[in-house]
Amino acid sequence: MALALANVTCVAIGGRGLLIEGPPGSGKSTLALQLIDRGAALVGDDGVSLDLRDGRLWAAPPPNIAGKLEIRGIGIVALPAAQAPVALVLSLGQSVPRLPEAGSTRWLGRTIPQLAFLAGDPASAIRAEYALTHFGLG
């Protein structure tokens, strides 16, 4: 069984998937681009396919947009595409608690840690990497 998600972007960092969700224009692709610049691999931009493999929730690029990343003001660029087990969901918003606690979300019967996240500042990518290390599944 597979599940297609829209309005989400996902990158792989060290073999672990970081799913970024938020409304259009919230900074999902920009955060992904910052993370790719720091060594992450693109899984999917503005959509991912989820499925279960060996009891874990995996994210893969949908075939129609595999390897495509939209860079606002530049256009769509081609990048290598990866797949990864989902370790953390960052939910982009306008404000977040100073010291947040991770919540969770559930897809295909698997619970994944979820964290409210504010993107758009120069340290967003570094903070996202720390969030994955601190709150993400191993």
- pTM of the predicted protein model: 0.95
Q: Report H helices in 1-138.
A: 28-37, 124-135
**Residue among 64, 29, 35 nearest 49 (CA):** 64
pLDDT at 6: 93
pLDDT at 94: 82
Whether residue 40 contacts residue 12, with contact meaning beta carbons closer than 8 Å, is answered with yes
pLDDT at 1: 77
Average pLDDT per block of 10 residues along the chain, 138 residues long: 92 98 93 97 97 97 95 94 98 86 94 95 96 96
* Domain edges within the chain: 2-135
**Residue among 88, 113, 94, 124 nearest 12 (CA):** 88
Yes or no: is domain 2-135 CATH 3.40.50.300? yes
pLDDT at 54: 94
Q: What is the spatial distance between Cα 6 and Cα 103, in angstroms, rounded to a whole number? A: 21
What is the amino acid identity at position 133?
A: T
